[in-house]
Amino acid sequence: MSATPLVFQVELHNQVKSELIPPLLGASLAELTTWVQQQGQPAYRGKQLHEWIYDKGVRSLADISVFSKQWRKEVAEMPIGRSTLHYRSEAADGTVKYLLRLADDQIIETVGIPTFAEAGDGPKARLTVCVSTQVGCPMACDFCATGKGGYKRNLARHEIIDQVLTVQEDFQQHGSRYNGGNPRNALPRVSNVVFMGLGEPLLNTENVLAALKSLNQDVGIGQRSLTVSTVGIRDRIRQFAQNNLQITLAVSLHAPNQALREKLIPSARAYPLEDLLAECREYVEITGRRVTFEYILLAGVNDLPEHALELSKRLRGFQSHVNLIPYNPIQEADYKRPNRDRIQAFVNVLKQQNTAVSVRYSRGLEADAACGQLRASKN
């Protein structure tokens, strides 16, 4: 008996319509149970299949040893949806960048970022994955390596989830060397996922929402440990808020005013800063969650004390947090990273204005740290 494509039922104009689910990765326990029963298998096979996909990271149904040899043979061609490793680059601080080859030979980039435990009783080690949501990016931000490479297509649900499982499996295999004899530094599972890799997540909302649901319910990552970053797409933040998720929304501002933002982010011409901030306020009202504003510091461009003062005034009374990111230089652009004194001066102004702020220094600087750099150099 050949394997039937996995299906689920949806109501459409009072008619029941069958739609194909893409490769099995991303399917829920209920959907997998329905599929195995369609193959004439008992319902408990669905739970086994779910465990092998999400906990054991199986890449082929033919490798699931708890299934009979005959049924494994019958369903061997049913794709799970895993990528293949194209390139791996590891930095001295433990950050690992991966280039993953998809089924259509497109290459995407993902990053595993370990944070190790401090001495004493502080937080244990955690493992964050930075995932891509598109092959390339159509936003064409002037300072971004990804935007310089053009846009190919959206990633499917399984292609997003696969990045998280790939990093988790790699750190389970290699992460023990970072332990240093301290069990608190063990990195067995991914604890956080940030949608900050290649692409604009809110231009791929359907697949991003599906991936968020699966990462939470199937992989077991808490919603508050999931962050989606966007440059801002009109009405999409509002639509995102209506899903009543408890994730973190990060909005890439990079400028305190419309004129400067238009120079750095071409799409800002169609979506004025005031409109974007108004939609962010709606997000806070609907979800009760604060918004993180990301601000890349570009030397001599947007890093002056007057920029910091203007930014703080824009965000006054806003339930928000500013995340400053010193720029990672790329060959394709002339922007520079400000020195630490300039960065600290910017921080000081924000703090004086009672604006919540932190500085995120990039990890793995020797490993083509800027988003899209490794893909451009090795693709």
Element (H, E) at 97: strand 96-101
What is the distance between the alpha carbons of residues 84 and 18, in angstroms, rounded to a whole number?
A: 30
What is the maximum span of the chain, computed from C-alpha positions, in angstroms?
A: 70
User: Residue 366 contacts by C-beta under 8 Å, 6 or more apart in sequence?
Assistant: 91, 92
Q: Rg (Cα) of the chain, in Å, rounded?
A: 22
Is 206 one of the annotated active-site residues of the chain? Answer: no
Is 130 one of the annotated active-site residues of the chain? Answer: no
**Region of residue 318 (left: phi > 0; alpha: psi -120 to 50; beta: else):** beta
Between CA 184 and CA 190, with CA 189 as vertex, the angle to 5 degrees is 110
Among candidates 292, 301, 196, which has minimal Cα distance to 255? Answer: 301
Per DSSP, the three-state class of 64 is coil
Write down the catalytic residue from 74, 109, 159, 200: 109
CB atoms near residue 93 (< 10 Å) = 15
Indicate the Cα dihedral angle 77, 83, 195, 256, nearest 10°.
-130
Q: Kindly report the length of the chain.
A: 379
Give the long-range contacts of residues 311-317, CB within 8 A, separation 24 or more. 311/253, 311/256, 311/350, 311/355, 312/349, 312/350, 312/353, 312/354, 312/355, 313/353, 314/256, 314/257, 314/273, 314/277, 315/277, 315/355, 316/353, 316/355
Strands 126-130 and 192-195: parallel
Indicate the Cα dihedral angle 379, 57, 115, 108, nearest 10°.
20
Q: Residue 278's Cα: distance from chain center in Å?
A: 24
Write down the catalytic residue from 137, 141, 280, 371: 371
Burial of 19 from C-beta contacts in 10 A (0-12 / 13-18 / 19+): exposed
Which residues are marked as active site?
A: 109, 371
